[in-house]
């Protein structure tokens, strides 16, 4: 999928050690796509991925789809997969 990164997303990805290739992977084929209840018009694309340390994390990418191409607002990983995973 074609997308743009906000400056905030670029900064957070660098700070959090999230490679662009992983964000691209989630954007291309997310395991889940959920409405972001905290931001009007935003969606969360998320997938479970194994990072360089060998641990499984949930990579969550917040996307403003009203932009063309879609704008990645931020991205972060969490080990609390069960907390954010939707059973639906």
Does residue 37 lie in a domain region?
yes
Does residue 39 lie in a domain region?
yes
Does residue 88 lie in a domain region?
no
CA distance 69 to 55: 32
Which of these, 43, 42, 52, lies nearest to 22 by C-alpha position? 52
Does residue 12 lie in a domain region?
yes
CA distance 54 to 7: 28
Taking CB atoms within 8 Å and a gap of at least 24, the contacts of 19-22 are 22/49, 22/51, 22/59
Record the pTM: 0.94
pLDDT of residue 36: 93
pLDDT for residue 88 is more than 80? no
Structural domain harbouring 20: 4-83
pLDDT for residue 12 is more than 80? yes
Other Cβ atoms less than 10 A from the Cβ of 22: the count is 20
Does residue 69 lie in a domain region?
yes
| CATH label of the domain that carries residue 57 | 3.30.2310
Tens-digit pLDDT profile for residues 66-79: 999 999 999 999 99
The tally of domains found in the chain comes to 1
What is the pLDDT averaged over residues 38-47? 93
């Amino acid at each position: 999928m074609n997308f743009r990164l906000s400056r905030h997303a670029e900064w957070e990805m660098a700070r959090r050690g999230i490679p662009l290739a992983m964000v691209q992977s989630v954007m291309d084929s997310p395991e889940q796509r959920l409405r972001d209840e905290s931001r009007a018009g935003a969606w969360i694309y998320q997938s479970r991925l194994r990072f360089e340390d060998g641990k499984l994390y949930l990579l969550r990418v917040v996307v403003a789809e009203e932009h063309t191409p879609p704008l990645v607002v931020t991205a972060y990983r969490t080990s609390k997969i069960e907390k954010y995973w939707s059973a639906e």
